[in-house]
Amino acid sequence: MTPGQPPRAETLADVAAANLDDWRARGLWRSPSVFATAQRAEASLRDGAHRTDAVLFSSSNYLGFAEDPRLAEAAIAAIRTFGAGSGGSRLTTGTNELHLAVEAACARLTGYDDAVLFATGYQANVSTLQALAAACASAGGLTIVSDARNHASIIDGCRLAKASGAEVRVTPHRDVGAVARALSQRTTAHALVVTDGLFSMDGVCAPLPALLEVCREHGAWSMLDDAHAIGTIGATGRGLPEYFGVRPDIQLMTASKALGAEGAAVATNAPVAQLLRQQARSFVFSTSPAPATCAAITAAVEVLESDPRPVQRLHANIARWYANRGEGAIDPAGAGPIIPVHVGEEDAAMRASAQLLERGFIVPAIRWPTVARGQAILRVTLMATHTPAQIDALCAELAALGIEGYMSA
């Protein structure tokens, strides 16, 4: 470069291409599966003109609601009445009676005073944490204590909360003692403990009763992201609060998993709900969920409340899976449908996933950075729509691959 001359500017495409080359070289490239069918137990993948039929063991459609005709009919009726789009953000032109119906249904399901609808669970977590931090900034400050394996939306919410003045302390996974120490050492007037309910990668539940006891001892608030537990944990699928018989200050539920639609609701007391409606940025500044989405969520909640069979079928399938592993009797209402099958090396997990697809099973390999290096897993998710024979067959294939702990029933 000649002195005094500006450096040659790389194009944006050049920078992106170089980054992607490095990303691929580090083994981080992911290619999404393309589905040609609904997220049902027997599904099809499409790769160009080639179509592969297989049993789907990777969906969060835990209860089979995504293809339930009761939800589809409600969504179609909503489109005919209200159109395809919502028309704006909730505080301008984007609220209609279907939004109010969703929030009332979610509050009723979880047993809280109120619930606030967001377009996604990601938005709900990010905006709730940021709004609480901002509200506490002039009232003595807020310390947020977050589990090390919390979802990325909580992590990003903590980062935004920190920018709004909050202190953030990350504690080891499910370590109640570490949470207590973090709360005892805080320098702010207020504190919030936030945790996933059913952790999405290792499939274990948060120790909610112990966490709430620590919160009581230290005058802290509690927030539970129950995304994967709604519809799956508890005798009637109302999540960890139902299963443990306790109630956090805030319970986040998503509609994009067991409820078969999309979006999320933050269930809490009335003042906090109104705070979110006024100050949660993704609520205030995002276009509201479409009418069809709202109607589908309300229908899903009503089905969950009135028809126990989908939850019962899911729990039976969870029990059968653990029976195949020779673990004897378990409580399927507290076990959850996420099964991490530990493989270890990333290449081995990728090979196992490909071999399973060849044998008719869709089971993704999860690797770094989602999980730690050298701790890759096959992530199995069970649905109410799986048959006992399909579950037995996958366990037999895992055993045939030499994965320890699996056998045919």
Tell me the catalytic residues.
200, 228, 257
Asked whether the beta carbons of 367 and 342 are under 8 A apart, the reply is: no
Which token pair is 89? 């953000």
Which token pair is 397? 């294939």
Q: For residues 53 and 5, what is the distance between their CA atoms, to the nearest angstrom?
A: 59
Number of Cβ atoms within 10 Å of the Cβ of 98:
25
Q: Give, rounded to a whole angstrom, the gap between the first and last alpha carbons of the chain.
A: 70
Q: For residues 307 and 81, what is the distance between their CA atoms, to the nearest angstrom?
A: 27
Q: For residues 106 and 267, what is the distance between their CA atoms, to the nearest angstrom?
A: 7
Asked whether the beta carbons of 119 and 94 are under 8 A apart, the reply is: no
Q: For residues 134 and 138, what is the distance between their CA atoms, to the nearest angstrom?
A: 8
Q: For residues 53 and 325, what is the distance between their CA atoms, to the nearest angstrom?
A: 26
Kindly state the DSSP code that residue 288 receives in the 8-state scheme: P
Number of Cβ atoms within 10 Å of the Cβ of 89:
16
Asked whether the beta carbons of 74 and 299 are under 8 A apart, the reply is: yes
- Which of 61, 60, 34 is closest to 48 using CA atoms? 34
Q: Kindly write down the DSSP assignment for every residue of 20-67, as one continuous string.
A: HHHHHHTT-------BSS-SSSEEEEEETTEEEEEEE-S-S-TTSGGG
Q: For residues 199 and 253, what is the distance between their CA atoms, to the nearest angstrom?
A: 14
- Give 34: exposed, middle or buried? Use CB within 10 Å, 0-12, 13-18, 19+: exposed
